[in-house]
Chains A and B, each alone.
Chain A
Amino acid sequence: MHLTIISGAARPQSRSNTARIIEAFSEGIHAGGHTTEVWYLSDRRQWGQARSAFEKNENILFALPLYVENIPGLMLEFLEGLSPKEKPGTKMAFLIQGGFPEASQSRCCERFLKTLPQQLNCAHAGTLIRGNMFGVRLLGKKLGGRLVQPFTDMGRLFAEYGEFRPEIVSGFAGPEYLPEKQLRQMGGMGNYIQRWSMRIVARRLGCREKLDAKPYHEVSPVQRKQ
């Protein structure tokens, strides 16, 4: 199989979690002797080539970060520039990764993506979902590497079946909702640790303000006419 991978991430390749995930996923594809080509929509100069790759190839994978319950606006803009394929036979698959840990957070986007291939005269080849990916780049090479490592196996299986099989996808997505116990742990001390570690990350990035600062606090509500 030759797989065209299009990254729908808006973040430049060097800083994108999606890009790291694509690297790991591609390793799995290549392990079986298959080939890939990757286009990054964050670089608008690649849009023309990404468009022709979509037109020419029959195995397409869009990998994207979840943006407000759906695909990033940038990726939607790219899709708007595509014409439906003249001949049927192209398979379109998707890989959604998001910051929140629960699989339920990706369902709204998944539902949209299910309708998309048909509108471009393609067949739907499944959607792989994974949450908890916010830290991939922030955690550095080693820890971030551990987060993306499972995608290599997914790449291998995708190449083997030519699609994301539902039974594999559901196991990989993790729990639909976090168990009560885990949710409870996020309060109290868990909440304190979470805030403390985020402040450390922010400080390292040069932030000197409170993370819950309200820069537009002074903006007062519009007064109604009497």
Chain B
Amino acid sequence: MNLMIVSTLPANDPQAQKAVRFLTSKVDCSRVFYTEEMKISPCLGCNACWLKTPGKCALHDDYEQILKGCLQYDAVVLLSGTSFGFIHSAMKNVIDRLLPLATMYICVQDGQIRHVPRYQKDYRFILLYSGKGDEEYLKYWMERFTLNFYGKSLGVFPLEKCEETLQCI
């Protein structure tokens, strides 16, 4: 098992540090991204990644490393703060920028319309959150978000219970 960890929490956040140390010690190979040290702008919704330069975003910032990582690693662990019970905007911006993983084409999947995936990959995501997250809601949203990318949510856990993620990876 290898892991990509994407943290929108400060690199010196003690709980995040602990979680990163724990996770990286338990897998064969890992890579950690601290978005605080990167430039990841919000998605502009320009649709260039679908209709102009298929699969590539029009914004040439650090998002590309994360997009590639989604293709390279077995699972992606998201470490996020929370806002209004949901993930923090810094993490939502990262997720919105994953749009190039889908194509413009649509198809029917389990009775709902979906975009045809661009790559044949079973994406697997885990969310670790700090602060007051609405865990039930976060689980629901993770299911929906991963479904959109033909992936799977392996679970949602408060950061302090990061040991529990081992059951799913």
Contact = CB atoms under 8 A, between A and B. Distances in A.
B144 interface: yes
A211 B51 contact: yes
Interface stretch (A29-37, A143-151, A160-168, A213-221): A213-221
A223 B66 CA distance: 17
A101 B113 contact: yes
Contacts of B72: 219-222
B86 to A, nearest CB: 6
Contact of B112 (A42, A102, A209, A214): A102
Interface string B61-74: 00000011001111
A214 B141 CA distance: 27
Contacts of A105: 112-113
A72 B84 contact: no
A191 interface: yes
B103 interface: yes
Contacts of A104: 112
Contacts of B86: 70, 76, 112
A84 B72 CA distance: 42
Nearest to A195: B105
B158 interface: no
A83 interface: no
Bin the interface of chain A by size: 35 or more
Contacts of A210: 54
Interface in B21-69: 28-29, 31, 42-46, 50-56, 67-68
Contacts of B51: 198, 201-202, 205, 207, 211
Interface stretch (A47-55, A61-69, A87-95): A61-69
B89 A119 contact: no
B118 to A, nearest CB: 6
Nearest to B42: A74
B168 interface: no
B44 A205 contact: no
A77 to B, nearest CB: 4
B166 interface: no
Given A72-B96, A177-B111, A191-B107, A216 B68 contact: yes
Contact of B83 (A79, A111, A191, A219): A79
Contact of A216 (B45, B105, B119): B119
A79 B84 contact: yes
Given A10-B43, A11-B44, A195-B105, A74 B93 contact: yes
A115 interface: yes
B29 A223 contact: yes
B140 A222 contact: no
Nearest to B56: A215
B95 interface: yes
Contacts of B29: 222-225
A212 interface: yes
Contact of B141 (A72, A108, A213): A108
Central interface residue in A70, A206, A222, by most chain B CB within 10 Å: A222
Query: Closest 10 interchain pairs by CB?
Result: A73-B93, A73-B92, A77-B89, A76-B89, A74-B42, A11-B45, A69-B144, A213-B54, A215-B55, A224-B28
Interface of A: 9-11, 15-16, 42, 65, 67-74, 76-77, 79-80, 100-102, 104-105, 108, 111-112, 115-116, 119, 177-178, 183, 186-187, 191, 194-195, 198, 201-202, 205-207, 209-217, 219-225
15 contacts: A68-B92, A69-B148, A72-B43, A73-B93, A77-B89, A80-B89, A102-B112, A178-B113, A187-B108, A198-B105, A207-B53, A216-B68, A221-B74, A224-B2, A225-B28
